[in-house]
């Protein structure tokens, strides 16, 4: 058994498991943990590393997770394997990129029944960028529909990896696991580094813990780190004393000799200041400083929305929680924003719609908050009348006097699906302002269609629509390639003549009218009757494009109220008043929180 610092880097392997969503990464991690004895059989459960409540509920990995296991190889030596299980969904790609930088190798899983998919390709390219040794694995060979030979050829043709090098496996049944373990040791390189040089360690993740402060996950490149060391976080210029260093097995296990070059682990130092820890920062010793390592490219959020406290939640609680969330999710960004009817809140940025949904749910669950979310928008570039440029992330930032031109982010979208769905995908893409680029075949049956499309069209509901148009067989990925000018307009929503920023959207002129109509209709069904008729309008500038009204209350009278009923009737009215108090005020109109969500959802419903 290896304990404490490894005397030699030769017996260390750092690798991650990458794949398209659902191809079996977390299940393979389970088998690796189990067959090396890192987790006893009785403690085993499916997708053990997906321990976040949301991960278990949705059956997907959201956070990358590092684990250290000891593996006794056939050469008689015991190896320290640091594996990182990564998420497959495109919205969590930033988790993958950061993980790759802590590794020398990658297990690339391909579902032997599904073949190479959009994220297989995307993640493969990311691993290649980092010069990682890639070991392809054909998973789920136990499935009757598995075609490992065909998929191996597909891997060779589309990824350029030797078909012979693919390992056939079933993560579920445990088939092929010994071969995978051998390949990790034999095909992946050991880390290179100098344990005696000044400490250089790369922070690739962190999490806030109520009791221990921030827990920092890192990979040591050079030097070593142990309890009691005074370390410096180079970029944030902060000093801390290390109170614990250890490995994840998978639970945090202190290592009293510390960790050295090539190893992966965590440290704590009673770090309470949330702003001090940044992923991509370098840890060094205060007394013996080293140069900073190349960090990570910042994630560039492309979808934005407002998050506002509601119900019992206060602004300060929300602020603290978004800070804590950001520690654990470096791709999530936020800044304070004032939202009119919604009060003070935050403008938040996400990598995609699923990411947005997950962040909102994590805030509500992990921090027990109540939040209202406004409609998502992409980043737009404006050319202003005075000739200057401006980037905006919310329709409210459009200047009163308008602009010369507006550009929206554009993406290259690859759709992959069995050839019989080509027609359905083309219709879908064209409806969403897609411009056809090319069509290619992968093997005999599967087809890749490439389109240029506005990102705004991609993020709203394209993925869901693709799934429903292709009976679930279609997959897609996208890459933002730049900004292009378009005929976009801001659609305002006026609630009883009061414009509501939180409900405004930017959309293409051709879709403005039905979007406006759908929003107003959704609002109408959410806003309760008032003492006056509530006018609802959607407008482009001064031009009203849709209108509806909520009729006034006609009758609301308690019929009887005598000596015996007074308390009950009073309490009834008090309760009704309380219900109204939880609503947001737009001018004189009480708008339930659900209305904001309903308006947001109206965008995908109105397409049908």
Partner 1 sequence: MSIRHCYIHIPYCASKCPYCDFNSIAGRSDEWTVYVQALLQELRRLPTGPYDTLFMGGGTPTILPPELLSTLLSGIRSHIDLSDDYEWTCEANPSSADAERFKVLAEHGVNRVSVGVQSTDDATLSFLGRAHNAAEAHHTLAEATAQFERVSADIMFGLPQQTAEDLKRDLNLYKQHGITHASVYHLTMELGTEFHARYKHGEQLNCSEQQSGELFDCLMTELATMGFHQYETSNFAHSGAECRHNIAYWTGQNYHAVGAGAVSTIHGQRCTRHKHPKQYINSITAGQNAIQHTETISDIDRINETWMLGFRLQRGVCIQHLEQLGITQDCWQQQAGALQTDGLIDFNNTHIWITRAGRAVQDAITQQFFLDTED
Ligand X SMILES: Nc1nc2c(ncn2[C@@H]2O[C@H](COP(=O)(O)OP(=O)(O)OP(=O)(O)O)[C@@H](O)[C@H]2O)c(=O)[nH]1
Q: Which residues bind ligand X (CB under 6 A)?
A: 19, 21-27, 47, 60-61, 87-88, 139-140, 142-143, 170-172
Contact between 570 and partner 1 per CB under 8 A: yes
Contact between 580 and partner 1 per CB under 8 A: yes
Binding range to partner 1, per CB under 8 A, among 246-254, 359-367, 393-401, 577-585: 577-585
C-beta of 542 vs 555, nearer to partner 1: 555
Q: Which does 388 bind (CB under 5 to 8 A by kind): partner 1, Mg ion, ligand X, none?
A: none
Binding range to partner 1, per CB under 8 A, among 400-408, 452-460, 478-486, 572-580: 572-580
Residue nearest to ligand X according to CB distances in the complex: 88
How far, in Å, CA of 72 to CA of 79, rounded? Answer: 6
C-beta of 154 vs 276, nearer to ligand X: 154
Contact between 576 and partner 1 per CB under 8 A: yes
CB 412 within 8 A of CB 436: no
Burial of 8 (0-12, 13-18, 19+ CB in 10 A): exposed
Contact between 481 and partner 1 per CB under 8 A: no
C-beta of 19 vs 494, nearer to ligand X: 19
- Least distance CB 50 / ligand X (angstroms): 7
C-beta of 461 vs 590, nearer to partner 1: 590
- Least distance CB 109 / Mg ion (angstroms): 10
CB 534 within 8 A of CB 523: no
- Map the footprint of partner 1 across residues 518-557, applying CB under 8 A: 530-532, 552-557
Positive or negative: CA dihedral 345, 348, 353, 357: negative
**Of the candidates 75, 96, 92, 70, the residue with the CA atom closest to the CA atom of residue 84:** 96
Contact between 338 and partner 1 per CB under 8 A: no
**Structure-token pair, residue 3:** 């304990």
Residues 6+ apart with CB under 8 A from 103: 14, 15, 16, 82, 84, 130, 132
Contact between 145 and partner 1 per CB under 8 A: no
CB 449 within 8 A of CB 470: no
Contact between 582 and partner 1 per CB under 8 A: no
C-beta of 25 vs 304, nearer to Mg ion: 25
Q: How many CB atoms lie within 10 A of CB 134?
A: 20
- Least distance CB 421 / ligand X (angstroms): 22
C-beta of 30 vs 337, nearer to ligand X: 30
**Structure-token pair, residue 470:** 């292709």
Helix (H) or strand (E) holding 574: helix 566-581
Q: Which does 142 bind (CB under 5 to 8 A by kind): Mg ion, ligand X, partner 1, none?
A: ligand X
Contact between 497 and partner 1 per CB under 8 A: no
Contact between 312 and partner 1 per CB under 8 A: no
CB 69 within 8 A of CB 63: no
C-beta of 117 vs 244, nearer to ligand X: 117
Instruction: Please tell me whether the peptide bond between 250 and the residue prior to it is cis, using omega within 30 degrees of 0.
Output: yes
Q: Which does 172 bind (CB under 5 to 8 A by kind): ligand X, partner 1, Mg ion, none?
A: ligand X
Q: Which does 21 bind (CB under 5 to 8 A by kind): ligand X, partner 1, Mg ion, none?
A: ligand X
C-beta of 211 vs 562, nearer to partner 1: 562
- Least distance CB 567 / partner 1 (angstroms): 6
CB 250 within 8 A of CB 179: no
DSSP one-letter code for 174: T
Contact between 558 and partner 1 per CB under 8 A: yes
- One symbol per residue from 27 to 66: x for binding partner 1 (CB under 8 A), - otherwise; what is it? ----------------------------------------
Return the exposure string of 389-404: e unless at least 16 CB atoms fall within 10 Å of the residue's CB, then b.
Answer: eeebbbbbebeeeebe
Q: Which does 125 bind (CB under 5 to 8 A by kind): partner 1, ligand X, Mg ion, none?
A: none
C-beta of 98 vs 304, nearer to Mg ion: 98
How far, in Å, CA of 480 to CA of 455, rounded? Answer: 7
Positive or negative: CA dihedral 27, 32, 37, 38: negative
Half-sphere exposure in the Cβ direction for 512 (13 Å, CA)? 22
Q: Which does 127 bind (CB under 5 to 8 A by kind): partner 1, Mg ion, ligand X, none?
A: none
- Least distance CB 91 / ligand X (angstroms): 11
Burial of 184 (0-12, 13-18, 19+ CB in 10 A): buried
Burial of 340 (0-12, 13-18, 19+ CB in 10 A): middle
**Of the candidates 296, 225, 222, the residue with the CA atom closest to the CA atom of residue 9:** 222
Q: How many CB atoms lie within 10 A of CB 54?
A: 16
Interacting residues with partner 1 (CB under 8 A): 530-532, 552-564, 566-567, 569-570, 573-574, 576-578, 580-581, 588
């Amino acid at each position: 058994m290896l304990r404490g610092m490894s005397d030699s880097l030769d017996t260390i392997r750092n690798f991650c498991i990458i794949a398209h969503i659902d191809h079996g990464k977390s299940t393979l991690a389970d088998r690796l943990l189990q067959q090396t004895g890192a987790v006893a059989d009785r403690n085993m459960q499916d997708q053990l590393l997906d321990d976040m409540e949301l991960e278990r509920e949705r059956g997907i990995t959201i956070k990358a997770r590092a684990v250290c296991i000891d593996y006794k190889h056939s050469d008689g030596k015991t190896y320290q394997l640091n594996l990182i299980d990564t998420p497959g969904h495109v919205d969590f790609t930033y988790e993958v990129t950061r993980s790759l930088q802590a590794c020398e190798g990658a297990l690339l899983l391909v579902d032997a029944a599904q073949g190479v998919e959009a994220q297989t390709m995307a993640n493969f390219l990311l691993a290649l960028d980092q010069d990682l040794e890639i070991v392809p694995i054909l998973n789920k060979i136990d499935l009757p529909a598995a075609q490992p030979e065909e998929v191996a050829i597909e891997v060779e043709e589309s990824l350029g990896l030797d078909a012979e090098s693919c390992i056939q496996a079933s993560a579920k049944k445990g088939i092929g696991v010994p071969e995978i373990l051998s390949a990790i040791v034999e095909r992946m390189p050991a880390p290179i580094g100098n344990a005696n040089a000044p400490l250089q360690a790369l922070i690739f993740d962190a999490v806030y813990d109520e009791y221990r402060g921030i827990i920092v996950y890192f990979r040591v490149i050079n030097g070593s780190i142990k309890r009691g060391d005074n370390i410096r976080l180079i970029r944030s210029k902060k000093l801390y004393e290390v109170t614990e260093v250890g490995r994840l097995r998978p639970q945090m296990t202190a290592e009293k000799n510390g960790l050295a070059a090539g190893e992966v682990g965590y440290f704590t130092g009673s770090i309470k200041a949330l702003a001090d820890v940044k992923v991509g920062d370098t840890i060094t010793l205060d007394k013996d400083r080293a140069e900073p390592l190349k960090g990570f490219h910042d994630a560039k959020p492309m979808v934005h929305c407002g998050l506002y406290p509601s119900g019992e939640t206060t602004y300060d609680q929300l602020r603290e929680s978004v800070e804590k969330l950001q520690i654990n999710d470096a791709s999530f960004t936020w800044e304070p924003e004032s939202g009119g009817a919604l009060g003070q809140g935050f403008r938040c940025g996400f990598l995609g719609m699923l990411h947005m949904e997950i962040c909102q749910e994590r805030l509500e669950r992990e921090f027990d908050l109540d939040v209202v979310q406004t409609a998502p928008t992409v980043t737009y570039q404006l050319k202003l009348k005075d000739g200057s440029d401006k980037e905006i992330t919310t329709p409210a930032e459009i200047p009163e006097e308008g602009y010369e031109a507006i550009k929206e982010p554009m993406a290259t979208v690859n759709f992959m699906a069995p050839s019989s769905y080509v027609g359905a995908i083309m219709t879908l893409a064209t409806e969403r302002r897609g411009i056809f680029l090319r069509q290619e075949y992968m093997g005999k049956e599967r087809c890749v269609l490439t389109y240029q499309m506005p990102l705004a069209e991609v993020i709203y509901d394209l993925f869901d629509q693709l799934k429903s148009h292709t009976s679930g067989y279609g997959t897609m990925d996208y890459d933002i390639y730049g900004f292009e000018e378009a005929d976009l307009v801001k659609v305002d929503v006026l609630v009883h003549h009061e414009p509501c920023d939180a409900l405004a959207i930017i959309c293409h002129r051709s879709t403005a009218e039905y979007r406006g109509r759908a929003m107003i209709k959704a609002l109408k069904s959410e806003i309760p009757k008032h003492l006056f008729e509530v006018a609802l309008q959607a407008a482009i500038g001064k031009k009203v494009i849709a209108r509806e009204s909520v009729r006034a209350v006609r009758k609301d009278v308690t019929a009887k109220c005598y000596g015996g009923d007074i308390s009950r009737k009073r309490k009834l009215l008090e309760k009704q008043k309380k219900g109204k108090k939880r609503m947001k005020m737009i001018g004189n109109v009480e708008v339930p929180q659900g209305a904001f969500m309903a308006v947001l959802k109206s965008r995908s419903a109105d397409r049908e």
